[in-house]
Structures are given as structure tokens and as C-alpha cells.
């Protein structure tokens, strides 16, 4: 919706904006004004109403884009250096050579602690759940990652298969539905 309040004096642009915003539950109202006083007044009004405002200066007027109703997703993680990526770990070993692979996995997990962009979630699937359960040598590392705000999730079916359901030592259990949702909606998947 566009409200053309050019040529109007205070308080008319504010009243026109009020009318337009009251007519919608959610959406974007664009208001055109031709003087700085009306620009500031309409911005004040919209922000007081809880809307967000973007201002563009055009040739001989201002265009205020007022967004009503849409809320931004509030990040649930405490740390701001978490990316939107998800790491999927399918084995307790990084690569085929088992002994080397376990050393590499430990180093990999420890290094995530220092990474500038950390994943928001780590999914442990298939033999990956051996890392999140009793007897794993990386429980402490994973607990530290969890404290940094990274979600540690283990596949429930996999825990059942290895008889490890009551041996989970870090993080939570997840199911295939949530896993699929997560993998298809996140910013990127890193498979190990």
C-alpha cells in the first residue's frame, strides 16, 4: 500500500499513516512525504506503533517503508559467532582408517571451539552416536561446544540400534522428522 502524503502539512501525514497501518494486521505501507519534518514525524509514529522503518531519499521526496507485524526471528543461541550451518557426523572416525580417523575426529571437534564461525547444530547419526555416549573420549569437548550454544543432537534410532539410549552423555535425542526439517531449512550442511 502506498500513502502519498506529499503536499500535506503536519499532522496530516501522520494521520494518513495511522489510517493505513490500522487497516492492516501485517504488511508494508510506503509513505511518501516531501519535507524533513513530516519524514521525522511519520518515522516517530511508526516506531511508536512498534513498526520498523526504512527511509529512502528520492529525487524530491522521501519514501518511508513501514513494516508492520512481521517479527524478526530471535536467535536462541547466546553467542553471536554461530553460523546457520549444521554439521552432520556419520561416524566416530574421520575417514576410513579407523585409528587415524578417531584422532582426526577428536582434533576436528576440538578445533571447532576455536573457529570464528561455529555451526548452530551438530547431528550425530549412525556410528556418530558413539561420540556422544559413554566411553567416548570427546564428551568433555562436546560439553564445551554445548556451553557455547551449539546444539548437540543424537539420532534416536541409532542409539537404539547400538543399545546406547540410556548411555547418552551429552546433548539431546532427535528424530528423523526433526533431522529432515533441520537439514532442509538450515543455511548449509557440513557432512563429516
Partner 1 sequence: MEFESFDDAAVAKLNDETAIIYTLDMITPVVDDPEVFGEIAAANALSDIYAMGGTPWLCLNILCFPTCSLPQECMKLIIKGGLKKIDESGAFLVGGHSVDDMELKYGLSVVGRANPERIIKNSEAKPKDRVFLTKPLGLGIIATAIKAGMCSQSAEEEAVEAMRTLNKEACEKMIEAKAHAATDITGFGLIGHAAEMAQASGVNIVIESEKVPFIKDAMEYAQMGLIPKGAYENRDYFSQYAEITIADADLEMLLYDPQTSGGLLVALPQSCDFPYPEVGYVTEGSGKVIVK
CB atoms within 10 A of CB 135: 10
- Whole-number Å distance between alpha carbons of 151 and 145: 8
Figure out which of the listed residues 7, 11, 75, 84 binds partner 1, where binding follows CB under 8 A.
Answer: 11
Based on the residue annotation, tell me whether 10 is a catalytic residue of this protein.
Answer: yes
CB of 49 to partner 1, least distance (A): 8
| Nearest distance, CB of residue 122 and partner 1, angstroms | 42
Would you count residue 153 as binding partner 1 (CB under 8 A)? Answer: no
Minimum CB distance to partner 1 smaller for 48 or for 59: 48
Nearer to partner 1 among residue 11 and residue 75 (C-beta): 11
Residues 6 or more apart in contact with residue 32 via CB below 8 angstroms: 2, 3, 4, 5, 6, 61, 62, 63, 64
Interacting residue with partner 1 among 1, 2, 10, 180 (CB under 8 A): 10
Within 10 angstroms of residue 152's Cβ, the number of other Cβ atoms is 20
Query: Contacts with partner 1 in 21-60 (CB under 8 A)?
Result: 35-38, 40-45, 48
At which residue does the C-alpha cell 520498523 appear?
52
- Of 160, 171, 71, 167, residue with least CA distance to 121: 171
- Which listed range, 10-18, 21-29, 71-79, 107-115, lies at the site for partner 1 (CB under 8 A)? 10-18
**What's the rounded Cα separation, in Å, for the pair 177 and 114?**
31
Active site residues: 10
**Which residues are near partner 1 by CB under 8 A?**
9-11, 14-15, 35-38, 40-45, 48
Amino acid at each position: 500500500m502506498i500513502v502519498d502524503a506529499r503536499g500535506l502539512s503536519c499532522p496530516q501525514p501522520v494521520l494518513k499513516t495511522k489510517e493505513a497501518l490500522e487497516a492492516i494486521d501485517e504488511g508494508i505501507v510506503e509513505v511518501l512525504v516531501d519535507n524533513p519534518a513530516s519524514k521525522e514525524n511519520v518515522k516517530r509514529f511508526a516506531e511508536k506503533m512498534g513498526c520498523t522503518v526504512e527511509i529512502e531519499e528520492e529525487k524530491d521526496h522521501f519514501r518511508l517503508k513501514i513494516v508492520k507485524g512481521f517479527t524478526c526471528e530471535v536467535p536462541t543461541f547466546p553467542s553471536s559467532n554461530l553460523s546457520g550451518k549444521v554439521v552432520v557426523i556419520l561416524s566416530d572416525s574421520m575417514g576410513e582408517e579407523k585409528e587415524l580417523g578417531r584422532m582426526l575426529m577428536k582434533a576436528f571437534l576440538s578445533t571447532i571451539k576455536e573457529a570464528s564461525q561455529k555451526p548452530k547444530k551438530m547431528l550425530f547419526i549412525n556410528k556418530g552416536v558413539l561420540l556422544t555416549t559413554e566411553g567416548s573420549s570427546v564428551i568433555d569437548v562436546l560439553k564445551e561446544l554445548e556451553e557455547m550454544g551449539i546444539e548437540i543432537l543424537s539420532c534416536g534410532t541409532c542409539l537404539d540400534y547400538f543399545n546406547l539410549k540410556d548411555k547418552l552423555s551429552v546433548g539431546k535425542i532427535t528424530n528423523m522428522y526433526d533431522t529432515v526439517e533441520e537439514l532442509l531449512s538450515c543455511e548449509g550442511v557440513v557432512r563429516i
